[in-house]
Amino acid sequence: MPDLMTAAFPSSFLWGAATSAYQIEGAVREDGRTPSIWDTFSHTPGKTAGGDSGDIAVDHYHRYRDDVALMADLGLSAYRFSVSWSRVQPTGRGPAVQAGLDFYRRLVDELLSKGIKPAITLYHWDLPQELEDAGGWPERDTAHRFAEYAQIVGGALGDRVENWITVNEPWCSAFLGYAAGVHAPGRTDPAASLQAAHHLNLAHGLGASALRSVMPARNTVALSLNSSVVRPLSPGNAEDLAAVQKIDDLANGVFHGPILKGAYPETLLAATSSLTDWSFVLDGDLRAVNQPLDALGLNYYTPTLVSAADAEPRGPRSDGHGTRDHSPWPGADDVAFHQTPGERTEMGWTIDPTGLHELIMRYTEEAPGLPLYVTENGAAYDDKPGPDGRVHDPERIAYLHGHLSAVRRAIADGADVRGYYLWSLLDNFEWAYGYGKRFGAVYVDYATLDRTPKSSAYWYGRAARTGTLPEVGTV
């Protein structure tokens, strides 16, 4: 029996990296692109650290060839990126802008020429501002507009891109964007955030149908969820277990309920009944949302630790999302969030690879036969070039080694995990945190925009080329 830690991954396993349009492209006013909600939000004083915006980001729009060459040099076999909706459809509706589509076609062709398999995310949080002005995600029509956009992009690139993801982390869009207000569009309306969540589900369903109507049948359609692993502070305490149920519904069930099972969890409907009667869920919606998926993407960073809120706090509290006045958890004021013990990354997120194993096994049980991808996993550290100009990031190597080992263990336990996309290829615009948090395997000098692969990039590249995990400390 080979040692599990050194045992090879399946030979077809995809070793990828991931990015998103607004976080890397820049060129926000070029070739007909119009503002998205993230342009508006980041230009609103006080919304992002240091007033940072994606105006220039890492200039990937102009440097995509170099970035693809970097991936090829490292030996990656897949790349997940997102399309900027307002580059393709500036008003969020109507005919496409050819220059916008051409950029993505050039990028895809560059990837294919280097043997790197592209995966397209259609929506990674950058709603065209015009659609927000018309009501945004709480407005039902936005889901129909998304389906139209999906059809345009699928029609243009479906002949050469096999793997498609409709929406990325709808939890962040709905609840950080419309309840907590820490992400664009910065609204703080709990009832509207639940409506937004439903319309994101509907967008996924209508978008998946639209994609399938224009693409070859061999292509796969998935979505990426930042499914939380929610754990009780005191596993023997019934009130803490009720808190777990509540947060699990709001983090996971609100999406995988309708998408995988065709219904919202009864416990979710009950827990939010004082905020909404869910009458925005119309006849036929659940059928549109609950259509067969070809794969599911899981994004995982850290577990969530909760208890019932009681008068005397038990230990340090955190909801993992920084301090905020408004909660991203509608109807869960009776839940307290705690810091999971253990070492943390620069985001303050506790490092716990067992959570990734748990998450994969959960979906292996709940959705038997559904292929899984880890569509994001990674860590932010305070990276700096050393005197030799190199960037050493042993903490990130340890993080990746731990989480990839968890993936390997899940595969050994019977999970059908087809690939892993490291977040992120490059240091980039980390949303409300601006450029202060570096998630890249490749370091970006923000003064010159020069790219320098960190030691983790070489470590990961070796894993990709050999299909096994190099020992930590060997690059």
Task: State the binding string over 53-82 for ligand PNW (x if CB under 6 A, else -).
Answer: ------------------------------
Q: Answer yes or no: is 148 a known binding residue.
A: no
Report the residue number, 24 or 111, with the smaller CB distance to ligand PNW. 24
CA 283/CA 62 separation, integer angstroms = 46
Q: Work out whether 168 is an interface residue with ligand PNW (CB under 6 A).
A: yes
Our answer to whether residue 30 is catalytic in this structure is no
CA 310/CA 242 separation, integer angstroms = 13
CB of 327 to ligand PNW, least distance (A): 12
Our answer to whether residue 343 is catalytic in this structure is no
The single residue of 239, 376, 395, 471 carrying the catalytic annotation is 376
Applying CB under 6 A, the site for ligand PNW has a residue count of 13
Q: Work out whether 376 is an interface residue with ligand PNW (CB under 6 A).
A: yes
Report the residue number, 97 or 332, with the smaller CB distance to ligand PNW. 332
Report the residue number, 123 or 149, with the smaller CB distance to ligand PNW. 123
Q: Which stretch binds ligand PNW (CB under 6 A): 140-148, 166-174, 209-217, 414-422?
A: 166-174
Which residue of 169, 285, 352, 383 would you call a contact of ligand PNW, by CB under 6 A?
169
CB of 424 to ligand PNW, least distance (A): 6
Burial grade of 310 (CB within 10 A; 0-12, 13-18, 19 or more): exposed
Q: Work out whether 20 is an interface residue with ligand PNW (CB under 6 A).
A: yes
For 403, left (φ over 0), alpha (ψ -120 to 50), or beta? alpha
Cα dihedral sign for 365, 368, 374, 376?
Answer: negative
Report the residue number, 258 or 297, with the smaller CB distance to ligand PNW. 297
Q: Answer yes or no: is 124 a known binding residue.
A: yes
Q: Work out whether 172 is an interface residue with ligand PNW (CB under 6 A).
A: yes
CA 469/CA 459 separation, integer angstroms = 8
Q: Which stretch binds ligand PNW (CB under 6 A): 168-176, 252-260, 358-366, 466-474?
A: 168-176
Q: Answer yes or no: is 245 a known binding residue.
A: no
The single residue of 169, 312, 346, 365 carrying the catalytic annotation is 169
CA 223/CA 82 separation, integer angstroms = 12
CB of 356 to ligand PNW, least distance (A): 14
Chain centre to alpha carbon of residue 468: 25
- Contacts of residue 127, Cβ cutoff 8 Å, sequence gap at least 6: 36, 37, 85, 92, 136, 137, 142, 184, 185
Q: Answer yes or no: is 30 a known binding residue.
A: no
Most distant CA pair in the chain, distance: 64
Chain centre to alpha carbon of residue 204: 14
Nearest CA to 397 out of 341, 339, 475, 338 is that of: 475
Q: Which of residues 21-50 bind ligand PNW (CB under 6 A)?
A: 23
**Residue 87, both tokens:** 């580059």
Give me the residues paired with residue 119 across strands: 80, 163
CA 172/CA 251 separation, integer angstroms = 10
Chain residues in the site for ligand PNW (CB under 6 A): 20, 23, 168-169, 172, 226, 299, 320-321, 376, 423, 430, 439
Residues flagged as binding site for substrate: 23, 124, 168, 301, 423, 430-431
Q: Looking at the annotation, which residues are catalytic?
A: 169, 376
